[in-house]
Amino acid sequence: MARQTRTDDWGFPRWRPYGAKGRAATQVRLCDREGCNEPGDRPAPKAPNSPDRWMFCEAHAAEYNKNWNYFAGLTAEEAARRAADEESSASAYRKSAHYAWGGAGDGTRSRDEMRALSVLELESDADFVAIKAAYRKLAKANHPDTNRDDEEAAKRFQAIQAAYEVLKTAEERKPVKG
């Protein structure tokens, strides 16, 4: 009897995955929901603090988690104690500190633009129409011609002008939608 010397490697493209040994079928665990034939690749706890898990498909995991109450059957004191224990053991996941240094805004404006908005006394989501209106109002109120011999008003006027220039330049750099 002849020994088989042929391989599964028939050139490009490869017909088998890299590093695969043998021709055994891949084992796929099905969803634990009765009647579902989707792969069960999303674990869900069977009970609190239990290592046992259900394995659901995406749709049934969402359905299961929608009705899951982690604090079911506990008194208010027990629920508070469990929540405190969870927070202390997950201290690395506390409210992320990296949001604190970012300041206000949604990330679409630079730090200079945010400072300019604060000089114009506007929120971080102000559009250019509001910026222009605030600039005109503040410039009129702090203009050196209307506030003679007031050095503070002159400094405020210069800061307002600089802030408006920063925001105007940023508005001009924005891509035109259309």
pLDDT digits (tens, 9 = 90+) for 74-133: 899 998 998 888 777 766 555 555 555 555 556 678 888 999 999 999 988 889 999 999
Other C-beta atoms lying within 10 Å of the C-beta of residue 131: 21
3-state class (DSSP) for residue 60: helix
Residue 140: per-residue pLDDT = 93
Residue 87: per-residue pLDDT = 76
**Averaged pLDDT, 36-57:** 85
**Residue 176 confidence (pLDDT) above 80:** no
**Averaged pLDDT, 159-167:** 94
Query: What sign has the CA pseudo-torsion 109, 114, 115, 117?
Result: positive
The architecture in CATH of the region 107-173 reads Orthogonal Bundle (1.10)
Q: Report the interhelical angle of 151-173 vs 111-119 (nearest 10°).
A: 140
Full-model pTM: 0.43
The boundaries of every CATH 1.10.287.110 domain in the chain are 107-173
| Helix or strand (DSSP H, E) at 117 | helix 111-119
Phi, psi of 120 (to 5 degrees): -85, 5
Contact 122, 134 (CB under 8 A): yes
Contact 31, 24 (CB under 8 A): no
Contact 119, 112 (CB under 8 A): no
Residue 164: per-residue pLDDT = 95
Q: How far apart are CA 97 and CA 176, in angstroms?
A: 35
